Structure 1
Amino acid sequence: MTDENRTTDPAAFRVETIETTSLGDRSYLIHDGETAVVVDPQRDIDRITGLLDAGGLRLTLAVETHVHNDYVSGGLELARTTGATYVLASGDELEFEFRPVADGEVLEAGRMRLRVLHTPGHTHHHVSYVLQDADRRVHGVFTGGSMLYGATGRTDLVRPEDTEALTHAQYHSVRRLAAELPADTPVYPTHGFGSFCSATPTSGDASTVGAQAEVNPALTLAERDYVDTLIAGLAAYPAYYAHMSPLNRAGAAPVDLSLPEPVDPAELRRRIEAGEWVVDLRERTAFAAGHLAGSLGFELSTNFLTYLGWLYPWGAPLTLIGESVEQVTQARRELVRIGIDRLAGMAYGEIDELADGQPLRSYPVSDFAGLAAALADRPGAFTVLDARRDDERAGGGVRGSLHIPIHELTERVDEVPDGEVWVYCGSGYRASIAASILDRPGRDLVLVDDDYAHAADAGLHAAQPEPARAR
């Protein structure tokens, strides 16, 4: 799991793209060689200050397109650290001082101009920023959660009763961008690279306003069709989102990337026996091969932050286990991005040493071909559990499987029948988390670590799978 920085050069200005792959988001650092502006910065601001220092740049503006619902912003701390002005939409109610901006205003930074466009939809007060030079030539537009690549930002994160009105607003906002900007204007969205803030899956790694006119649903569909299609397609989103807007409105504390206190094997065992969350970061097949009984497996890879944030009981003690201190360090960085700041402890090293003589738990790993063979050899002998989301299940699943989405499993674990369970998802990642949840009480498990596309190859896929009966 890596985050990347990439550079584009819109003539006189440079745009550094700061990827946060674990959240599916991008931040941007724009500069003219001397003066810089950052758009929608993540909380671990050392990635940005490192670029500023390396380029000898002075940050004068930290701007937000909206109050974020999927991560804790680093904008306030960045402004306080560098002396930059912190900019947000004028309608947002916040508990700290900031520079409010409204539609039509122009911000200046060195040779750069940022023209503010009110583009509501993702939130009520969402704005986009049009990058211009002194001659008002357009060099790009930073669209946040408005115009994405082949999609738009979701509209159901404020209040359920606002969703339809915001969806109509989103339609008109994207159309305004297309109407007011040249077709060759580069589009720089914040969401849409795996973030659940996108209403639908996005496509592409770069785009222009003109290219979006051909593929973006807000520009290709009639308004009523767009609204109905978007709302009907809105899938579940991570539970931790509920905490992000309040944290961002209050102003997050300065980021702390220091490691938690080490925990010895005896204390690990005590915490597990007390029912605390002890999370193993190792690769999922390594976890299956041997882990501390009662621990939970959340492989530290691209989807780690989304699903740990989704399932974690907010505010509960959280202890991390890694194969190395570097692994724990990376997990620490990931967690502060969504405001999980207080870790109860950590341990790292060989899992046998952390077990300190206690027997390890394990379970086998298979694939869809193995599942097909087991179903043929032992029909009715075990439960097949589908841990995918409802929208994925709507496209079909393994015939006869029981469907409980991963984000509902901790509350519905008693619905899984006694006996052996084979668990699958779309890739194996969520299934591995589900397996670790079921393993805690000592269930008999098999992890299907495979891409769901292979289920059809194995003859298991059914467009309308007849579900197993939950007890």
Structure 2
Amino acid sequence: MKVEQIYTGCLAQGAYYITSNGEAAIIDPLRETQPYIDRLEKDGVKLKYIFETHFHADFVSGHVDLSKRTQAPIVYGPTANPEFEAIVAADNQIFEIGDVKIKVIHTPGHTMESSCYLLIDEQGKETTLFSGDTLFLGDVGRPDLAQKAASMTQEELAGLLYDSLYNKILPLADYITVYPAHGAGSACGKNMMKETVDSLGNQKKMNYALNQPNKEAFVKAVTDGLLPPPAYFGMNVAMNKKGYDSFDEVLQNGMKKLSPTEFELYAESTGALILDTRNDKEFAKGFIPQSINIGLNGDFAPWVGAMIVDVKQPILLVTDIGREEEAVTRLSRVGFDNVVGHLDGGFESWKAADKDIDVVNRITPEEFASAINVEKDKVVDVRKETEYAAEHVDAAYSKPLAYINEWVKDIDPQEHFYIHCAGGYRSMIAASILQARGYRNFTEVEGGFNAIKQTDVPKTDFVCQSKMLS
């Protein structure tokens, strides 16, 4: 028996590959299926089952495509109602893969169909728990994503989650290995550890949610401080539940090469959003007017989902040469399948064609330190609230990037302001959105707060974020 975690950092997502005696199972696969097909062929094993822990909200799973390509059935836990052929398992139902078994443990609370899968080895010993979004390391799944479907409040769902964890998961042996569906950085929880594997015994000791004195305290603890879920989550759930276009078709469309003139015509005729995936330093120096910058070298897919929201939005890509396929693939992972083409030759071809170019007014942290008067000048900090609370420029305004659609309408276009994040990635996303909407009276600070800290700009006292969250 072999168990492998296949972790994708930009999504903070774990898929799992299990083999035993010529057969395999995959849990929560990513959208693109070819790597799994290649691995199955290399190992000489047959895929017997595709297990889904629940209808995912933060990414589109590869279950439908993978099932079509391998004929392996898709398995969900009790109460699931997918709109495609699948096995809806009973609680405690056993599935055999080679010489090992996987037991379904129905754990509603994060969603109603949420289930964990317990791996039983060749000797009949329970060894590994694939906990999905029910139990994370250091946290549990947020109980507010299934409210509409379940016609329940988040408090009622949290109560179900308590019952699932305390009655079905906590009684399991301490030595069992826990493999969650997500790690730190995912919006499916609020306080996850950076580690991606742990023992259940350690989680029983240190996970705040597993150490509450009663259900009432648990409900309060897990619902306290929950931020609104990203707006694209519901659309991803629908795709995971209803099915979607083949990834191969999505990739073929996105890999369509467009000359600068064709690209310009497509943008004008289709209403496509121009998404520039280069790094913030390159983007600042020049870009196609109205482009939105979300760099591939960062938390690309989650920020695309949070900023663009509508998965059906037509998208035209500008990428570094050779990264077109990567961009299309990572967009598809969060359901943005409507990529209509990319700029052939990248931004250099646009410049060579003598097309219009825009720039962002970016300054160095040293220039910022020389120019800023904290008593008079307005500074907008687009980091998360916790980052801002830990330490920030004196008198800066906290305006998290995630809520730009709310706070942008409060901007006075006549009043100049400075804008920064932690390192430049998020502030350039914000800058590109602001300029696309006609706001230009601002200056973005290169390197963000990490660089500003090295200057003499007045700052608040540092407060450890981990203490703030405890």
TM, length-normalised to structure 2: 0.88
Q: Secondary structure at the match of 2:11?
A: coil
Q: Determine the C-alpha separation between the residues in 1 that align with 2:92 and 2:346.
A: 58
State how far apart, in whole Å, the 2-side matches of 1:151 and 1:228 are.
14
Alignment CA distance shift 1:294-1:22 (3 Å) = same
Which of 324, 327, 338 aligns to 1:342? It is 338
CA offset at residue 196 of structure 1?
A: 0.8
Classify 1:129/1:113 alpha carbon distance in 2 versus 1 (closer, same or farther; 3 Å).
same
Select which of 140, 147, 150 maps to 1:152.
140
Cα deviation, residue 178, structure 1? 4.6
Distance (Å, rounded) in 1 between the aligned partners of 2:256 and 2:25 = 37
DSSP 3-state at the match of 1:310: helix
Aligned to 1:226, which of 202, 218, 223? Answer: 218
Deviations 1:198-249 (A, max 9, x none): 2323242320111111211122232333322221221233211110111111
Paired AA for residue 236 in structure 2: M
Separation of aligned partners in 2, 1:178 and 1:296:
44
Matches within 5 A, 1:8-407: 13-159=1-147, 161-223=152-214, 224-256=216-248, 257-258=251-252, 259-270=254-265, 276-312=272-308, 314=310, 315-324=312-321, 326-349=322-345, 351-355=347-351, 356-366=353-363, 370-376=367-373, 380=376, 382-390=377-385, 392-393=387-388, 395=390, 397-407=392-402
Q: Over residues 172-200 of structure 1, what are the superposed CA-to-partner deviations in whole Å (9 max), with x where a residue is unaligned? A: 32334553322111111112242111232
Closer, same or farther: CA 34–366 of 1 in aligned 2, 3 Å: farther
- CA drift of 1:105 comes to 1.2
Matches within 5 A, 1:392-431: 392-393=387-388, 395=390, 397-410=392-405, 412-417=407-412, 418-431=414-427
Alpha carbons of 1:38 and 1:366: their partners in 2 closer, same or farther (altered >3 Å)? same
User: Which consecutive residues of structure 1, in runs of 5 or more, have no partner in the other structure?
Assistant: 1-12, 465-471
User: Structure 2: any 5+ residue segments left out of the alignment?
Assistant: 463-470
Question: Quick one: distance in 2 between partners of 1:278 and 1:400?
Answer: 35
Alpha-carbon distance between aligned partners in 2 of 1:230 and 1:370, rounded to the nearest angstrom:
43
Displacement after TM superposition at 1:74 (Å): 1.2
**Counterparts of 2:433 and 2:292 in 1: how far apart (Å)?**
6
Judged with a 3 Å threshold, the aligned counterparts in structure 2 of structure 1 residues 451 and 182 are, in CA distance, closer, same or farther, namely farther
> How many positions carry a matched residue from both structures?
449
- 1:332 CA drift (Å): 0.3
Name the stretch that deviates more: 301-310 or 248-257. 248-257
CA-CA distance at 1:319 after TM superposition: 0.3
Q: How far apart, in 2, do the equivalents of 1:372 and 1:347 lie?
A: 38
Aligned to 1:469: none
Q: Percent identity?
A: 27
Deviation of the 1:430 alpha carbon: 1.4
Is the deviation greater in 198-207 or in 301-310? 198-207
Answer with 121-130 or 391-400: which moved more: 391-400
Query: Aligned equivalents of 2:277 and 2:71: distance in 1?
Result: 37
8 Å contact kept, 1:66–1:125: yes
Give 1:22 deviation, angstroms.
Answer: 2.0
CA, structure 1 residues 414+42, in 2 after alignment: closer, same or farther (shift >3 Å)?
same
TM-score by length of 1: 0.88
Q: Is the 8 A contact 2:255 2:324 kept in 1?
A: no
Superposition CA RMSD, Å:
2.5
Paired residues of 1:40 and 1:65 also in contact (CA < 8 A): yes
